[in-house]
Amino acid sequence: MALELKQVTVRFDGTQLFEPVSLRVEPGMVTTVMGPSGCGKSTLLAAVVGDLAPVFSLSGDVVLGGQSLLNYPMEQRHIGLLYQDDLLFPHMNVGQNLGFALSAGMPRQERRARIADYLALAGLEGYADRDVASLSGGQRARVSLLRTLMAAPRAVLLDEPFSKLDTALRGQFRDWVFGTLKEGGIPALQVTHDVEDCGDGPVYLLQEGRLA
Amino acid sequence: MLRRCLAAFPAVTAAVFIVPVVIGLIGTWLPAFGYLPALGAERLTWAHWEYLLTHPSVPTAARHTLISAWGSTLLSLLAALTLLALTWRSRTLRWLRRSLSGLLAIPHAAFAIGIVALLAPSGWLIKLASPALTGWELPPIFSLVRDPWAISLMFVLALKETPFIIFMTLAALQQLQVGRSLQMGRSLGYTEFMAWRRIILPQLLPLLRLPLFAVLAYGVSVVDLALIVGPSAPSTLAVLVDRWFNHPDILRRLPGSAGATLLLVLTVLSLGLWWLLEKLWLRLSRPHWDSGQRRSALHWLARPAEGLSLLLIGSALAAFMVLVVWSFAFRWGFPDPLPQSWTLRFWERGWTRLQQPFWLTLWTGLAAAVIGLVLVVGCLEHEVTLRRRRPGFTGPKLFWLIYVPLIVPQIAFLFGIQVVLVWFNLDGNWLALLWSHLMFVVPYLFLSLSGPYRNFDDRYVRQAMLLHGGEWCALSRVKWPMLLRPLCYVTALGFAVSLAQYLPTLYVGSGRFATLTTETVSIAGGGDRRLVGVYALTQWLLPMLIYSLALLVPAWCFRHRRGMRLQ
């Protein structure tokens, strides 16, 4: 299932923030949009996920699996979003954070098994009962991605998710994220201002209101 | 649907609490000009104003009011700011922060009774010092409390208000980048105290305007504390007006209304003057901000500031201790430092009398706190929606109206409300009593919760919505549990505010409801000290119990969550 942006542009107070953007993100690929701070990268992601403030107006279309998303609210688009902060819920342990993303009707045993399987994927076996505050930065980042994946998103948006990790951890985690997304066949759109964070997918540059 | 419901909260909250204030004010102004048909007064006249302004007690009473209100507000502001500036990042402040909820929980009346029991001519302090240090075998004839200049009232008010100002200052400081600003200031060679004065204070004072208005207005209109620790011949203007309103000669309610209106005028003038002084101070100090002076001659204040925090906590502890000792005393003559014999008799007697007020106070306080919490959370959540829609939005202007009951003197509109309630035969009704408490609970809850609620990182909610789908789920399973600590804390604060209400209980309840506060204040004037001790301690312990629960419940719920611990 591919994610497509068709002539997407955002206006604020009648001013166009960037020229119409068209791109296609293939399943399992990480497409990157690069650009300096304030160029509208995060606004573009907000437009895709459906989180634009009403003062902005969106034109164009966002299509996922051949279906336009524009008429769906944010929570019904089935798009995962990873920020530069992991945003793990501090009042829940690791297992509860992951379980939060599972559907409500799932039996308890199945939930536990699913959580254990996912933790094993990230090399975090036996961490379900751990307090999230006791995890290292890298572990927190992995749990955050796992949580996003557990909600079975049809696409994932990455808002500079590696920028707060230290250099040693960064490359390793980035490869793991891209590998996991590829394995799951999930299209991913990443915005960053760091060239190192680009994967082997297409890279675009958003500068002076134009995508190149 | 949820958002649509929330949109109604600010208007409903403001209407429910502001409309009665306006009606109450009108209901007080009309009798002030001679119109109160229920008493046969139907002709507009200035006569009651003439009576008021020529009454021999009024000028002195007004002077007492102004001295105690202005003095206590200035003292508590100065104490709170000096304390924070000089103990920032120190152990003293951490210690004070931990004691803050306990200090805030203390009801004004119980605190004042404790202070009187300490400082009265036959109080504990003089007993402890006599005769070894003073040489007195009998209580001295002078008194440190109830002095004719209202100085003791001013100091007791200041002691009681300082923790509130510290609490509000700490909340306001969350909006400023204090740590980084001080670091920057120090890296440029400024002492920390100087960096506070030059960088933090000019940003902080405007943020404290509303809490200071509330403190100033409270000082002008306070009755219960003034009855216990204030001067008596004459008393403060608020006490004088209260006496007229409750005088056996019902026609005294007419000059009483004029007096209540005069109190309102004094409050408005005081608030206006405070605003002007704040502007003036900012204007005069502005040329000094970049003067380059890096050290302050006032640095020697550090030690007294630490001493002040000790005095704050120490006075509360000492007041508490003396009440405990009195409540168990049987015989305690002067100058014995401790009672000669002890008894449980006064607790037994007190508890029998206090049972009904105790349960009424508990249920009314809990109901007011919970309803107030729902209203305030609804308003704040609606603000979040508006902010999401309009980035840079600073909050609906309507929210300022919520604070009106705090900055209008209670006595200036409660009599009018009473008149209207009697008119509609709604006085002396528990729901009316609950609503009158809510009028004061809601603004305090709003003041206290708005900081943590507005500072909450909204991305958590969005992440929860993306992961689980529903907004209600995001709020109930992520946002509110993460805010459990402040939510519990403000609920306890709401309870303490409801418990402390004296005038609303008397006026709206039409004297039919006896709460711990009304009973304690009524017995404080002339009751047996041992029984007064029992009453005041019960009034003190109930909010302490609720505060303790408010601290313990989140601590227990999150005992295994390091990220949820208090910083």
- The string of pLDDT tens digits covering residues A59-112 is 999 999 889 999 888 888 889 998 888 889 998 899 999 988 887 788 889 989
Which tokens sit at B450?
A: 């708005």
Q: B1-30+346-557, what's its fold?
A: MetI-like fold (1.10.3720)
Give the B window 429-458 contacts with A, CB below 8 Å. Answer: 457
Higher pLDDT, A87 or B143: A87
Instruction: Give CA–CA dist B162/A149, Å, rounded.
Output: 51
pLDDT band at residue B88 under the 50/70/90 scheme = confident
Query: Does residue B484 belong to the interface with chain A, where contact is any CB pair within 8 Å?
Result: yes
Q: Are residues A129 and A170 located together in one domain of the fold?
A: no
CA B224 vs CA A150, B111, B262: distances in Å: 59, 11, 19
Looking at residue B392, its pLDDT comes to: 64
ipTM of this predicted structure: 0.79
Residue A67 lies in a domain: yes
Looking at residue A106, its pLDDT comes to: 83
Q: Are residues A37 and A17 located together in one domain of the fold?
A: yes
Residue B567 has pLDDT above 70, yes or no: no
How close, in Å, is residue B494 to chain A by CA atoms?
Answer: 25
How close, in Å, is residue A199 to chain B by CA atoms?
Answer: 24
Q: Are residues A171 and A203 located together in one domain of the fold?
A: yes
In the predicted model, what is the mean pLDDT of residues B110-125?
90
Q: Are residues A208 and A140 located together in one domain of the fold?
A: no
pLDDT tens digits along B196-241: 888 888 889 988 998 999 999 999 999 999 999 999 888 999 999 9
Residue A46 lies in a domain: yes
**Among candidate residues A103, A124, A151, the one where a domain is terminated:** A151
Residue A53 lies in a domain: yes
pLDDT band at residue B527 under the 50/70/90 scheme = confident
- Contact (CB<8Å) A90/B563: yes
**Among candidate residues A151, A168, A185, the one where a domain is terminated:** A151
How close, in Å, is residue B246 to chain A by CA atoms?
Answer: 53
Instruction: Give CA–CA dist B394/B403, Å, rounded.
Output: 17
Residue A84 lies in a domain: no
Q: Are residues A29 and A73 located together in one domain of the fold?
A: yes
Residue B10 has pLDDT above 70, yes or no: yes
**Among candidate residues A151, A178, A197, the one where a domain is terminated:** A151
Closest Cβ opposite residue A91 in set B459, B471, B564: B564
Which helix (H) or strand (E) element contains residue B309?
helix B302-328
User: How many Cα neighbours within 13 Å face the side chain of A37?
Assistant: 0
- Contact (CB<8Å) A87/B389: no
Residue A69 lies in a domain: yes
Residue B397 has pLDDT above 80, yes or no: no
Q: Are residues A196 and A103 located together in one domain of the fold?
A: no
Residue A123 has pLDDT above 90, yes or no: no
Residue B267 has pLDDT above 80, yes or no: yes
Q: Are residues A9 and A57 located together in one domain of the fold?
A: yes
- Amino acid A191 reads V
Q: Are residues A74 and A120 located together in one domain of the fold?
A: no
Sort B545 into a burial class: Cβ within 10 Å, 0-12 / 13-18 / 19+: middle
In the predicted model, what is the mean pLDDT of residues A42-62?
88
Looking at residue B291, its pLDDT comes to: 67
Q: Are residues A73 and A158 located together in one domain of the fold?
A: yes
- Contact (CB<8Å) B466/A79: yes
Looking at residue B102, its pLDDT comes to: 81
Instruction: Give CA–CA dist B257/B270, Å, rounded.
Output: 20
Query: Does residue B556 belong to the interface with chain A, where contact is any CB pair within 8 Å?
Result: no
Q: Are residues A27 and A71 located together in one domain of the fold?
A: yes
* Chain B residues whose beta carbon lies within 8 Å of the beta carbon of residue A149: none
In the predicted model, what is the mean pLDDT of residues B368-374?
96
Domains identified in chain A, total number: 2
Find the domain containing A171 and state its range: 1-78+153-212
Substitution target in B2, B458, B460, B463 with the highest count of A β-carbons within 10 Å is B463
Q: Are residues A74 and A160 located together in one domain of the fold?
A: yes
What integer best gives the mean pLDDT of chain B?
A: 88
Query: Does residue B386 belong to the interface with chain A, where contact is any CB pair within 8 Å?
Result: no
Looking at residue B334, its pLDDT comes to: 85
How close, in Å, is residue A102 to chain B by CA atoms?
Answer: 7
CA trace torsion B137, B138, B143, B144 (10° rounding): 30
Looking at residue A164, its pLDDT comes to: 76
Looking at residue B341, its pLDDT comes to: 92
Instruction: Give CA–CA dist B529/A139, Å, rounded.
Output: 63
* Chain A residues whose beta carbon lies within 8 Å of the beta carbon of residue B561: 90-93, 131-133
Looking at residue B398, its pLDDT comes to: 65
Residue A29 lies in a domain: yes
Looking at residue B294, its pLDDT comes to: 67
CA B413 to chain centre: 18
Q: Are residues A3 and A68 located together in one domain of the fold?
A: yes
- Contact (CB<8Å) A101/B467: yes
pLDDT band at residue B485 under the 50/70/90 scheme = very high
Question: How many residue contacts between A and B have a Cβ separation below 8 Å?
Answer: 79
pLDDT tens digits along A142-199: 899 888 888 889 999 999 888 877 777 788 888 888 988 999 899 999 998 888 888 7
Domain harbouring A33, CATH code: 3.40.50.300
